[in-house]
Amino acid sequence: MNGLAELAHTLAPGLLYPTGGAILFAMGLYGLIRRHHLVLRILALNIMGSGVFMVLLGVAARGEGPPDPVAQALTLTGIVVAVSATAFALALVVHLTRLTGHAVMLPGPPDDDAPVEDISREEHHADGGPAAPHPDQDRNP
Amino acid sequence: MSLLLVIFDLVLLAGIIGVAWRCLASTDLFRAVVLFITFGLLLALAWVRLEAPDIALAEAAIGAGITGALLLVTLERLRSIMAERHSGRPHTPPPDPSGPHALLRALHDPPPERHSFFPALIFALVVGSLLVTALWHQPQSTGLEPVVDAHMDVSGVDHPITAVLLNFRAYDTFLELAIVLIALLGAWSLGRHDLIPARPAPGPILPGTLRLLVPVAIVTGVYVLWAGSHAPGGAFQAGAILGAAGILLVLARPRQLPMAPGIPLRLGITAGVALFLLVGLYGLGAGHGFLGYADAWAYPLIILIEVAATLSIALTLVALFVAGRPAGDDA
């Protein structure tokens, strides 16, 4: 029973949750490198952020007494900033898809010689204007 | 008892990590998004376990709810854009999910290539083990809890987290509201009001539920805002709850969505930052420093800022969901 109590002490939330947060951060990093679809990359970034929040809150809950309110308030701020950044990133993904026809970031260096579509012309159709570009236009410019 | 709690912690962490892994490994984006929402709800449970009910409220409302809605509407937009490009006709109804493969490319990501496996794995392992090592060898400290506790009587509120957010570290909160506003400006700069490619609401269930849910959400939001001065709650959670009610309204009536009036909408969106800035400048002029309050005025000023911030956050979240600046007021 003594050994069990010792184990419970070692696995206190103040150590367990920061470790879990570090694992989440590393997993998000792995996903960010491996996946190519931009929505999945945004999800990976959010998982990394959640790992950071878990580290902060886990460290805040260490020791005796009530948890550290400053770390908790910063996490609250972080969650709201994360949702704003995610919303902006998703708007960018939608816009990119509208311009290029895909939302995938392919591996390898960017192809600087690739023809660029005329963005200024298409922007005016972003609000659901009269004409969408011809489907073949983006593939065989 | 503590052994049971350890088992609970281990099971919860295993669940969180497992769901995150399935989410990142998924080839179907819809599936990944649903798993991410589950991930957020499990996180909220973990925050309760870590004695952070404020964060749990915010995570459930913002992290799981609003982010999930934003992700789902993005998938729907991507699907509709692909369908539009494919057919060459604008505003075609969303295709059947079991349609041709070309349309589904927007919502699928093939499994990653083999050659990036080992570099990514080694990089993630190194970063993860460095983090774990650093966290396990951190010196013991009591944090800032005693300092906050000692100054609670001058903060104007009874809840430590609200005191930190709106008094002790008001500068952070001010900048956070500014970031929320800038994110919306960024989204608006990308184009005008975009039609939400929602399918028509099937049957009477959604409007009926909505009629019951929206008043409850408004009462809950106002209560959470009011409770923030002495219990878990506050402007961000309340803003998220009201924003979620707004998103539900937008979703349920895509056909007869009234045009948002430009000037009142913009005033509401900037109210939080503007009022915060005014109060901060007033404090500077009155000799309390930027964002400092006179002790007697702390409570009414905090409540005032919180009400404005709630309004701004709720409106901004709905506007971010709709995406694109309102139609009909081009310069």
How confident is the prediction along chain B (331 residues), in pLDDT tens digits per residue? 578 888 999 999 999 999 999 999 988 899 999 999 999 999 999 999 998 888 998 899 888 889 999 998 888 888 888 877 777 655 545 444 444 444 555 677 777 878 888 888 999 999 999 998 988 887 777 778 888 888 887 777 888 888 888 888 888 899 999 999 999 999 888 876 566 655 555 677 777 888 888 899 999 999 999 888 888 888 889 999 999 888 888 777 655 555 566 788 888 889 989 998 998 888 888 877 787 777 777 888 888 889 999 999 999 998 888 877 766 554 4
Assess if residue A132 is contained within a domain: no
Eight-state DSSP code of residue B164 = I
B227 and B304 housed in the same domain: yes
The percent of residues in chain A predicted with pLDDT above 70, rounded, is: 67
List the CATH number of the domain containing A65: 1.10.287.3510
The answer to whether B13 contacts chain A (CB < 8 Å) is yes
- Given the structure tokens 């929602």, which residue do they identify? B198
B235 and B326 housed in the same domain: yes
Sign of CA pseudo-dihedral B2, B58, A81, B192? positive
| Number of residues that make up chain A | 141
Do residues A75 and A38 lie in contact, with contact meaning Cβ atoms separated by under 8 Å? no
The answer to whether B70 contacts chain A (CB < 8 Å) is yes
Interface of B with A in 18-37 (CB under 8 A): 20-21, 23-26, 29, 32-33, 36
pLDDT at B23: 94
Distance from C-alpha of A97 to C-alpha of A120, rounded to nearest angstrom: 15
Choose, out of A42, A88, A99, A100, the residue to mutate when testing the contact with B (most B CBs < 10 Å): A88
Q: How many CB atoms sit inside 10 A of residue B105's CB?
A: 18
Assess if residue A117 is contained within a domain: no
B127 and B213 housed in the same domain: no
Q: Which of A45-49, A119-123, B222-226 has the highest mean pLDDT?
A: A45-49
pLDDT at B195: 61
- The structural domain count of chain A equals 1
Listed residue (A9, A25, A6, A65) closest to B51, CA to CA: A65
Eight-state DSSP code of residue B59 = I
The answer to whether B85 contacts chain A (CB < 8 Å) is yes
Assess if residue B297 is contained within a domain: yes
B179 and B55 housed in the same domain: no
Listed residue (B52, B254, B121, B270) closest to B182, CA to CA: B270
HSE-CB for A86 with a 13 A CA cutoff = 32
B200 and B295 housed in the same domain: yes
pLDDT at B259: 58
Assess if residue B151 is contained within a domain: no
| Number of residues that make up chain B | 331
Assess if residue B152 is contained within a domain: no
List the CATH number of the domain containing B107: 1.20.120
Among residues B115, B131, B147, which one ends one of the domains? B131
**Domain that includes residue B164, residue range:** 158-331
Distance from C-alpha of B302 to C-alpha of B165, rounded to nearest angstrom: 10
B168 and B262 housed in the same domain: yes
Assess if residue B148 is contained within a domain: no
Assess if residue A115 is contained within a domain: no
B170 and B305 housed in the same domain: yes
Average pLDDT over residues A52-56: 93
pLDDT at A101: 77
Do residues B24 and B64 lie in contact, with contact meaning Cβ atoms separated by under 8 Å? no
A86 contacts in chain B (CB < 8 Å): 67, 70-71
Assess if residue A59 is contained within a domain: yes
- The structural domain count of chain B equals 2
The burial of A3, by beta-carbon neighbours within 10 Å (0-12 exposed, 13-18 middle, 19 or more buried), is given as: exposed
Assess if residue A6 is contained within a domain: no
B68 and B191 housed in the same domain: no
B168 and B251 housed in the same domain: yes
User: What's the gap between Cα B303 and its chain centre?
Assistant: 21
A113 pLDDT band (50/70/90 cuts)? low
B246 and B191 housed in the same domain: yes
Assess if residue A25 is contained within a domain: yes
Looking at chain A, which residue has its C-alpha nearest residue B128? A26
**Domain that includes residue A82, residue range:** 12-108
Assess if residue A122 is contained within a domain: no
Listed residue (B309, B144, B134, B110) closest to A77, CA to CA: B309
B102 and B168 housed in the same domain: no
Alpha helices in chain B (DSSP H): 2-25, 29-49, 53-58, 67-87, 101-104, 117-136, 145-150, 160-163, 170-188, 205-227, 235-252, 262-285, 298-322
Distance from C-alpha of B108 to C-alpha of B91, rounded to nearest angstrom: 22
Q: Which of A30-34, A58-62, B206-210 has the highest mean pLDDT?
A: A30-34
B20 and B90 housed in the same domain: yes
ipTM of the complex: 0.87
Pick B135 or A106 by higher pLDDT: B135
Give buried/exposed letters for B311-326 (b at 16+ CB in 10 A, else e): bbbbbbbbbbbbbbbb
- Three-state DSSP class for residue A30: helix
Assess if residue B192 is contained within a domain: yes
pLDDT at A135: 41
CA distance A87 to chain B (A): 6
